[in-house]
Amino acid sequence: MLLRRMLPQSGHLRIAEIGVYCGRGTAMWIVELLNSPVTFDYFAIDNFKGSADYESENLYEKTIQNLTPILNKVNVLKMDSIEAVKRFPDGYFDVVYIDGAHDYESVKKDVNHWFPKVREDGYIAGDDYVKGWPGVVRAVDEFLKRHSLTLIRVGKQQWAAQKTNEKPVKIGFWKRVMSS
């Protein structure tokens, strides 16, 4: 599971999940976190408008009902992803998980807006990095390339990358070292 890979053995984690739908993923993450040694702040962000692929009738109410037993562990923010991002300072999150709208432009916007909110050595990650969602794959590939980040595949469809300041060493550097 993605979170297990990213969980430290102690400390306090701040996590944002973009795209909550009915709260299934949220519930799984919270259970995993409660069974771990860390403390956490969890922000579940969704405009609860759904999409063509996801039913949207009474989505917010249904989600709140589903999450009732763990509502004291989750901060549910009913707002657009790009509005929500303005609420947090840069470097605030240990993990940002992108699973909102799946078209190319939306994923591009989400990764670009949320990446600055991830702390150094934290993770940005998401779902549906699969052939069936070409917009997700394209936006994620472009984003990783632009920031020289290494793709971590988790399971069959999740992607993640660790934010690091280290830039890949250019070939020209090695040429100079070898010839000096």
Ligand X SMILES: C[S@@+](CC[C@H](N)C(=O)[O-])C[C@H]1O[C@@H](n2cnc3c(N)ncnc32)[C@H](O)[C@@H]1O
Stretch that binds ligand X, among 3-11, 87-95, 96-104, 158-166 (CB under 6 A): 96-104
Q: At what angle do helices 104-114 and 134-146 cross, to 10 degrees?
A: 30
CB of 84: closest distance to ligand X in angstroms? 7
Binding residues for ligand X, rule CB under 6 A, total 17
Q: Which of 38, 50, 119, 152 binds ligand X (CB under 6 A)?
A: 50
Stretch that binds ligand X, among 40-48, 137-145, 148-156, 162-170 (CB under 6 A): 40-48
Spatial separation of the C-alpha atoms in residues 111 and 138, rounded to whole Å: 12
- Is residue 40 within 8 Å of 70, Cβ to Cβ? no
Site string for ligand X, 55-94 (x = CB under 6 A): -------------------------xx-------------
Q: Work out whether 129 is an interface residue with ligand X (CB under 6 A).
A: no
Residue 176, classified by CB atoms within 10 Å of its CB into exposed (0-12), middle (13-18) or buried (19+), is exposed
What are the Cα distances from residue 69, in Å, to 17, 30, 80? 18, 11, 25
Q: Which of 7, 46, 111, 140 binds ligand X (CB under 6 A)?
A: 46
Closest CA to 156 of 129, 137, 138: 129
Spatial separation of the C-alpha atoms in residues 157 and 140, rounded to whole Å: 12
Q: Work out whether 116 is an interface residue with ligand X (CB under 6 A).
A: no
Binding site residues, ligand X, CB under 6 A: 19-21, 24-25, 46-51, 54, 80-81, 99-101
